[in-house]
Structure 1
Amino acid sequence: LYCVPLFSAGLKLVKPREDGSRLVVSARQTDRPAPDDLVALAQQLTSARELVKERACDRLRGIAEQMEHLQKAAIKVLEEAKRDEELHRVACNMQKQPGRIYHLYRRGDGSSYFSLLAPEEWAKEEKLKEYVASYRLEMDRSWTPMADVAKRDRSMVQRETIILDNGGYTLKIGTSRDIEPRIIPNCIAKAKADRKREFIADEQSECVDKTGEPANLQEQRCMMNPSIFGIR
């Protein structure tokens, strides 16, 4: 038999009011508890506390996972910033322009330099040995490895996509660089308008079926009144 101590469970009961202010049929029947009522209340309180603790632990676990993810993202940002700073210190005999690809070489003495020529464009075997990597200079002066250029471009296109809903049957889709955005059918707005049109048609047909008269009978009578058009 499982029994929960009432004092250890922290069970609190509501004190009854005076007999004169209580709206009950029988105070004796109302105040008489069953033998297991207090034990059931204590067990329910204990289980509720356990559920609250488990829920709090689940939330804290989710927050910890998010913090771990943010910590990894912060470490990645710092590593990329350190790499970009080191690349900007590499010797280069030309003015760096965003959007261009620069090839990094390292000589045998450890000195590094940037060049616009790819390793195969030198037609020299020694340049293939000195070649390290290729980077593209971005508008924010950061460096993107050639292996990540396509991924970065896709990400930038997704961010710059603008969708304009004019509330009609069409949507305007484009980027911030487009002079005229593309216009495509707005399936959502068209579906809503079609449903609204069907609802109005159903309401009018129901009105005609019940009364035998159109829903806008008064408007039609006013329109057919000759005095409106100045006809006598």
Structure 2
Amino acid sequence: MSRQDIQMALSKPSYFEFTEPSPCYNGNRYAYSMECLHDGTHVWLGGTAEPTATASFDPIFYPLHAFVDKIFGLFRRRMIQEGNAVYPDKQITGHAPRDRMLFYNTFPGIESLTHEDGYGENLDQLVSYTSTPSCPNCAGSDDLYCDTTQNICVSRTRQGPQNMAVNRVPMRTNDGIETAEMMEPDSPVRVQRIMNRFGAFSIRGPMFGPVGMRDRRTTGISMRFM
């Protein structure tokens, strides 16, 4: 989900365009809803973060959804300012303004919570978000720095124990050339050296592709090449 995607979502004229359903996979990225962009993030992450049955067990689930909620909060604030904060009734069974939310029988105490309630002030006042840190000072945080190449604040890498990786190298023996395994620090220097030796990985591509694309740089067997 790029900054352009977020700005596109925030520029929607009403809740109707901001919310589902929308043509997520018709090739027109500007038609996507916020839910669709969120779905695409789950797919791009892959692993346990992708399937509905396991996504909530992945540690990234909470910060991802908190971030999406912040975006919704910004959009909601704009709708209120423009006098356009009306729940989008799209004539979908179970999603009318006064229909109860689908999980009403899962969590005790919210049996009467409706979709329209979810857009109200009472719930909104339970959560507040700080402004997004920006360059050059990144809100003075010790955990962020300004990436001047993209003009965005990026989290610092935590310094921990040095990870080691297996490196397979050719060695001459009495029987000819054999492959031996050597342990070495797993670092960007090692990755760059491998790339210099074998060439750039063909799996590399643009960071943000179509919504819902599976990026082989971050999932599956491709990560083991590093």
TM-score by length of 2: 0.17
TM-score by length of 1: 0.16
Q: Which of the two has greater helix per residue?
A: 1
Task: Mark the structure with the bigger radius of gyration.
Answer: 1
